Structure 1
Amino acid sequence: MKPKGEETGTESGTGTLDERITGALVGAAVGDALGGPVEGYSPDQIIERHGGRVHGIVGPWHGTDWRTARPVAPYHKGDGHVTDDTLMTHALVRVYATVRDHLDAYAVAEHLVPDLMTTPRWIPELEADALPLQRIFLAEKWL
């Protein structure tokens, strides 16, 4: 048995700080990808569409019509795609990596807003490069 503090992540069950951060970010993205295709639908609708609870990756609610189906068009929610929630998390991580401190309104104005407005990135739900601002929800746009 190793002395306290020398355990590795797999032996101690807690992991290093970097491993825990990575686990939290990956876990959030996986949960986002699994929940995206059923977001906004009632439990009864989900059961009817999927024959029960969703336990894995499923296709878009409207199948191949995801680009035109309302109200979700033009977003490809399904097939393991992450949503704007994960895109916003990635943007915040980029800003934290730059600022390396608590984020205040000035950091948001100086780093987050320009990142969302000026740097095209791969947007899985659009299956294209685009500005993250074009995908994030209204609440984040108020920044």
Structure 2
Amino acid sequence: MRERYGRVGSLDTEWHRIAEEEIARKGRVRGRGIVTDDTLMVLCPMAVYNETGRHLDAWDMASGMVRQIAWTPRWVPELQRETMLLERLFYPEKWIFHRHQLTSCDPRQGGIGNMVNCGAAMYIAPVGAVNAGDPHGAYE
């Protein structure tokens, strides 16, 4: 990526924009597969890691993740505009917002009741990467 695009600091870039005529012809576009909803979800906990500068816990996921998906606008290539990521997500991925923001659950129980869905796992994938080889640390 660095060789082709340099440092990628935003998804709102010229190389990722879709031509107006293509949008007019197709309507809603899929972002050419470069950035998916999984990509956007992984960026959320990474932003929380950057903010906290430490290990994330359930409370960070409850507050930081909710802020990232529901209240922090970001460029969504598929929609070709800046919006809240919540607008782009499927119901299982919205669960973290529903459980923490709308029902005020105990953060340690935030995933209880969610349907099995690979996309929802993308929220937590960076925790596994940060704690590679340390299952206890990942659990904590």
Report the TM-score when normalising by structure 2: 0.47
Larger RCO (CA within 8 A; separation ≥ 6): 2
Write 1 or 2 for the structure with the bigger share of helix: 2
